[in-house]
Structure 1
Amino acid sequence: MSSREIDGYLRHLAVERGLARNTVASYRRDLRIYGGWLEQAGHAGPASVGAAELAAFQRYLSAERQPALANSSVARVLSTVRGLHRFLAEEGLTETDAARELKPPKLPARLPKAIPIEAVERLLAATDGDEPLRVRDKALLELLYATGARVSEAVGLNVDDLVDAEVVRLFGKGGKERIVPVGSYARAAIEAYLVRVRPQLSSRGTATPALFLGARGGRLSRQAAWVAITEAADRAELGLEVSPHTLRHSFATHLLSGGADVRVVQELLGHSSVATTQIYTLVTADTLREMYTTAHPRAR
């Protein structure tokens, strides 16, 4: 079911909020589920329902729908529906926000997946070599682990964002800028790449300020960065699932394990709230408990 209200909300997301096409498509899929339920339940559209009907929709998602949705998917759909009804109220299309009290199911905290320091060392060693793309990949992976940068932040770097030999300027979500130190291993890898490889790659394409370049001389894509990391993990034979975010998680976890203050790690990661960063303290606490249980003679 499509409705004037749903179509208007999707246009608002795409045009006024400027959300990416894939993000809008995700909202559209969620609203297709909602629209189908409205039609099945005999409602004219989202503007015609109240809190009781929305509670019935939540029960449908959680217990009645076939195929059943995971709790995470239920939470996502309900979040989308809440956004729709908030939009309708703000636009004056409904008198009140019927979904204001709609509460998605609580999800268990998902702990970040970090890998041990020795696994990181094996991963980084798997980028050793004199081939141009190996030199570039070593600089990229060393930078990701040294700074905790998101992969989008790393591939978005320009050469001028290397403020000096020891710090880099990263631009996070919403264009928020932060300055992060760069360790000696990453500095050496980046210097080798800048001197030996980047001029060669740059000559293959049009002039670009991008720090990391692809094989054809353009800015390295997120997909290519992902491939570089997964291929290095394969060569290292880690037997672990590794993604670009793995290095960010490992950066935070290893800093906290080494005694870094959580608020310092918050600044380095670019988190707006320390609560987001504190989930990493759960990871280190779990590690400590495991080590204690294994090592202490009266722990079990």
Structure 2
Amino acid sequence: MPVVAFPGRPSPSGACTLAAAIDRYLDQIPVLTTRASYDDTLARLIDVAGGASPVADLAPEDFAAVMQRWNGAAAATWNRHLSALTSFTTWAQRQELLATNPARRLTRRKPARRGDRAVPRARLDKLLGDDAHGLRERVLWRMLYETAARAEEILSLNVEDLDPEFRRARVVSKGGAIEYVHWATGTARLLPRLLKGRTAGPVFLADRRAPTTGPRAPAAADICPTTGHGRLSYPRAEYLFKTATRVLDPHGNGWTLHQLRHSALQHLAAAGRTAAELQAKSRHAHLASLGAYVRLGEHTSARVTADTDSAARRHPR
């Protein structure tokens, strides 16, 4: 009688490959934004360890080589990629595909507790009004700022999720909840030019056509049926944004996409919006979570200092 191997488990002729295990793991993640985020990290793991290698052979050195790519990144970025590796490890151990923990030598990094992550409004206006940047980037940056949404949510949008009449889009937020984000006139004016009549597929497309086969082939839902291009990835979008904003950043580092969310909420707080209004815009479950976003930063300090400058209050003779 022939033996039929269970998909993804070791077969009589060999062990489960890393690529097969990662495919099974990603397939069982219900939240699209989480799946897309983890896919970027695990694709790097396949590049380092080899997709055809047995998943049981993963070693701490493989995970260290993967994380080396983000060694100089912010603590939040490091922790996000490490979470993808540890989540895959936990799943593989439950499936009895992996006996050890290759992530045991890696630790999460502690983000800085304070610091003004918002971009000054004048610099942001200069960036968003610069036609030298590509149309795709200008729409993405404006939509992120005007919606105050998470970057993963906006990058995961499909054309079918858009409701241009009411300037809103349906997103899958943390935990898988279906919510709506709203944009303003700047996005509304540029969005039709970006879509060019497209009625389906990802809103934000990569520069190249997506491969149809091989380990880099994306899911069908991540390919535009009109152009054949795949969905723009978070790492690529982040790289382009940091590169474009280095000239505006006084420190020369460039900004992160998440800073657009910080900036939107902080600017609304500075304009006097209530906590309830900010919660509605940010879609945080708890008001306490808004603290990191709406702490008035250095631009408020500068304004207060200028307003209380004794020299400025002197009357001309």
TM-score (norm 2): 0.53
The answer to whether the aligner puts 1:123 opposite 2:127 as a matched pair is yes
Q: Match for residue 193 of structure 1?
A: 194
User: Does structure 2 conserve the Cα–Cα contact (< 8 Å) formed by 1:124 and 1:232?
Assistant: no
Please show how residues 132-281 of structure 1 align to structure 2 within 5 Å. 134-165=134-165, 166-195=167-196, 209-216=201-208, 217-234=229-246, 236-239=247-250, 240=252, 241-281=254-294
Cα distance in 1 between the residues matched to 2:158 and 2:112? 38
**Distance change >3 Å, CA 279–CA 227, structure 1 → 2:** closer
Secondary structure of 1:214's counterpart equals strand
User: Does structure 2 conserve the Cα–Cα contact (< 8 Å) formed by 1:149 and 1:170?
Assistant: no
Please tell me the residue identity of whatever aligns with 2:203: L
Q: Match for residue 96 of structure 2?
A: none
Cα distance in 1 between the residues matched to 2:255 and 2:231? 23
- Any unmatched runs of 5+ in structure 1? 1-13, 26-31, 33-71, 81-86, 88-105, 200-206
Q: Match for residue 292 of structure 1?
A: 304
Q: Which runs of 4+ in 1 moved over 6 A?
A: none
Cα distance in 2 between the residues matched to 1:107 and 1:248? 17
Secondary structure of 1:115's counterpart equals coil
Q: CA deviation at 1:108?
A: 6.5
Please tell me the residue identity of whatever aligns with 1:244: L
Cα distance in 2 between the residues matched to 1:249 and 1:142? 14
Please tell me the residue identity of whatever aligns with 1:174: G
TM-score (norm 1): 0.56
Q: CA deviation at 1:212?
A: 0.9
Cα distance in 2 between the residues matched to 1:278 and 1:187? 30
For residues 19-68 of structure 1, give each alpha carbon's deviation from its aligned partner in whole angstroms, at most 9, with x where no partner exists: 95869x9xxxxxx9xxxxxxxxxxxxxxxxxxxxxxxxxxxxxxxxxxxx
Question: How many residue pairs align between the two structures?
Answer: 204
The answer to whether the aligner puts 1:110 opposite 2:111 as a matched pair is no
Q: CA deviation at 1:188?
A: 0.7
Q: CA deviation at 1:289?
A: 4.1
Cα distance in 2 between the residues matched to 1:223 and 1:176? 24
Please tell me the residue identity of whatever aligns with 1:296: T
CA RMSD of aligned residues (A): 4.0
User: Does structure 2 conserve the Cα–Cα contact (< 8 Å) formed by 1:139 and 1:186?
Assistant: yes
User: Does structure 2 conserve the Cα–Cα contact (< 8 Å) formed by 1:112 and 1:280?
Assistant: no
- Any unmatched runs of 5+ in structure 2? 1-24, 30-34, 46-59, 61-74, 84-89, 91-109, 209-228, 312-317
For residues 191-250 of structure 1, give each alpha carbon's deviation from its aligned partner in whole angstroms, at most 9, with x where no partner exists: 22122xx75xxxxxxx9621111112111111221123123214x544353011111111
User: Does structure 1 conserve the Cα–Cα contact (< 8 Å) formed by 2:120 and 2:299?
Assistant: no
Cα distance in 2 between the residues matched to 1:187 and 1:255? 20
More helix by share: 1
